[in-house]
Chain A
Amino acid sequence: MKKVYVNEERCLGCHLCEFYCAFANSGEQEMFKAFRLGRNAAPRIQVEDGKGINFAVQCRHCEDPLCMKNCIAGAISKENGVVKIDHEKCVGCFTCILSCPYGCITPDKDGHSATKCELCTANGGTPACVQNCINGAIVFEERGEA
C-alpha cells in the first residue's frame, strides 16, 4: 500500500506540513480559522528539529501495530492497511501514546480522545502534508512492504 515517507536530506524544518495537516483535519474552510478563534487545530504530523537535521514523523501504519494490540477499548483497527481510531469508542486513556514506539499519536484537542495520521483517507486524495511540502521531502508512494 501507499504510505507517507520522509526524506530528511530534503527537509528544511519549515513546519508547513504541520499547518496543512492540522488544517486538513480541522473541518474548517479557511486556514486562519483552524488556528485562530481559540480553535488551535492540532497536527497529526510532527517535525523534529535536531542538531543539523530536520524531518517529519507520522504514523507508520505498522504491520502489527502495538497501539492497536494494546488499546483497552478496542477502538483502534486497521482498514485496508490504514490504522484508524474510532473516536466514538476512544475514551482518551492514552494507552496508545504509551505504546507507539515512534511517538506518532497525540491527544485530540478536546483532550478526551487520541488522534493520529489516517493518511487523509477522510479528506480524499493525496495526504495534505505531501501535497504541500514545497521541498519534496515528504512523498506518498508504494514501497513494496506490507
Chain B
Amino acid sequence: MNYEYVIIGNSAAAAGCIEGIRENDKKGSIAVISDEKYHIYSRPLISYRLKGDVTEKQMCYRPADFYKTNNVVTLLGKRAVSADSKTRTVELESGEKIGYEKLLIATGSKPFVPPTDGLDSVKNRFSFMKMDDVKGIEKVVKKGAKVLIIGAGLIGLKAAEALEHYDCDMTVVDLADRILPSILDKQTAEIMQKHIEDHGVKFILGTSVKSFDKDRAVLANGEEVSFDILITAVGVRPNTELAESAGAKVERGILTDKKQAVNGVKNIWAAGDCTVSEDITTGTSHIIAIMPNAYAQGKVAGHNMSGNRDTFEQAFPMNAIGFFGLHLITAGAYSGECYEENEGENVKKLYSSDNKLNGFILMGDKIARAGIYTALIREQTDLTTVDWELLKQAPQLAAFAKEKRFEILSKGGETA
C-alpha cells in the first residue's frame, strides 16, 4: 500500500502531526504504524491507571473517533523495522512494504535495562513505560507485595506512587545519591524524598544492584533486598534504529532542523522523544523527552509535510508532576542568581541571569500561576521590561507594562 503521509509511532508527536497535516491538507492519505495495538493513549497516564484513577478508555489521548474524523488508516500491532529513503518505503516485520511520499519518524524511546548478573532469573520483571507494562504488573501484583524499583527518577517514583494503592512494601534503589536528579536540586530532592518516605517507601541511594537471584537482589554496598516484583526504571534510550536504516544522522537522538526535517535524508521528518532539540535555556542540544515538546514538534512537522512552513524554536525542559500529593512544577536551567522562598514543603526557586529567567523549581502551593514564569522563559522576556521584584514574590499580570496587560485582558488570548 502507498500513502501520501506515513507516521511511525502513535503518541503525542503523531497526534500533533496528524492535526498539523489536516490544517492544510484535508484529503492526502495518512497511515499510522505502531507496534502497540491500542488507540492513541497517553503514556504518562499508565501510573494513574495502575493506581485506579483512570480507566483504559479515559487514557485515550484523543477521542474514540480521532482516526475516523481525520481520515487516518491505522496499522496497529505492526512493527516497522526499516525505511528506505530512495524507494520511499517502510518495511514491516512481516515483510510487508508500505510506500510513502512523506514520512514522520516518531518512534519515541525504550527503557534501558542495565545488564546485570542473574537478571534473567527474575520472573516478575517489568519496565514502566507502556500500557502492556501496567497490564503485566496488574496480573501479578497482590496486596502487600514486596516491590523493588531500580531508579528514583520520574518513572520509578510514579510507579511507587501507583503501587501504594496495593499497599506494596516498596524499596527504591538508585546509583545517584538523590532522587529526581533530572528535575530537582539537592535541597528540593531531600524534601521530596522525605515526603515519599512518609508514605512508606524506602530508599537505598548511592548504590546499584550487583546481581539478582530469582527474588533476591544483592546490592553493590552488600545489602540484600528480597522482592516479589521488580520494576526497572533506570533510564530510556531513543529508538533511532529505523531512522538510521534510512540514512539519517543520529547523535544520541535523531538530528533535525527547526522544521523537524531529518538531517541527511529527504522527505523524512522526526519528532518527539527520539529527537534532539536545541534547549533555549542552555544553548545546548539534547533530547527533551516531554509530551508538550513531542506534540509541538509533531505539529510543526505536520505543517511542513503538508506544504506550510513552520519552525519549532522554543524547546526547553518543563515538568509538572506530583508524588503522593506533593506537586512540582519545574522548567529550564537552574543557573544564575537564585531567588528563594522556603516554607517547609512549599518552595520557590527562580534562577535568572542577564535579565532573563533561566529556570525555576516550584513545589507545594508555590506552583500557583506557574505559567506566567514559564512564559518569561519561553518568550525570553527582558526582565527590565517587567516589575521583576513583584513577579518574584508572586506571578501576576500586574507586573507587566500596561500596554502588554491591555493586550492580554482587553483583546483576549494570544495565538502562541
Query: Which residues of A approach B to under 8 Å, CB–CB?
Result: 3, 5-8, 48-51, 53, 55, 57, 59-67, 69-70, 72-74, 88-89, 91-103, 105-107, 111-112, 143, 145-146
Contacts and interface: CB of A to CB of B under 8 A. Distances in A.
5 contacts: A55-B409, A60-B412, A64-B416, A98-B318, A107-B367
A35 B396 CA distance: 25
A92 B367 CA distance: 13
A86 to B, nearest CB: 9
Contacts of A51: 398
**Secondary structure dominating the interface of A:** loop
Contacts of A146: 412, 415
A105 B371 contact: yes
A77 B58 CA distance: 14
Given A97-B329, A97-B370, A101-B371, A61 B397 contact: no
Contacts of B414: 60, 62-63, 101
A72 B42 contact: yes
B54 interface: yes
Contacts, number: 148
A98 B416 contact: no
B86 interface: no
B109 to A, nearest CB: 16
A94 B416 contact: no
Interface in B26-66: 42, 44-45, 48, 53-54, 58-62
Nearest to B296: A69
A72 B396 contact: no
B153 to A, nearest CB: 16
A97 B371 contact: yes
A8 to B, nearest CB: 7
B410 interface: yes
Q: Which of A60, A67, A74, A145 has the most CB of B within 10 A?
A: A74
A84 to B, nearest CB: 13
Interface of B: 12, 15-16, 42, 44-45, 48, 53-54, 58-62, 291-292, 295-296, 299, 318-322, 325, 327, 329, 331, 367-372, 374-375, 378, 390, 395-399, 405, 408-416
A145 B412 contact: yes
Contacts of B416: 62, 64, 66, 101
B368 A91 contact: no
Contacts of A62: 412-416
A98 B61 contact: no
Contacts of B58: 88-89
Contacts of B53: 91, 112
A97 B367 contact: yes
Contacts of B408: 60, 102
Given A55-B405, A72-B12, A101-B372, 4 more contacts: A62-B414, A70-B292, A94-B327, A103-B368
A35 B68 CA distance: 45
B44 A60 contact: no
B399 to A, nearest CB: 8
A48 B372 CA distance: 14
Contacts of B410: 5-7
Nearest to B291: A72
A79 to B, nearest CB: 12
A95 B48 contact: no
B44 A103 contact: no
Contacts of B399: 50
A100 B372 CA distance: 7
Given A55-B409, A88-B58, A93-B44, A103 B415 contact: no
A93 B292 CA distance: 13
Nearest to B58: A89
A5 B42 CA distance: 35
Contacts of B44: 72, 93
Given A89-B54, A145-B411, A103 B296 contact: no
A98 B295 contact: no
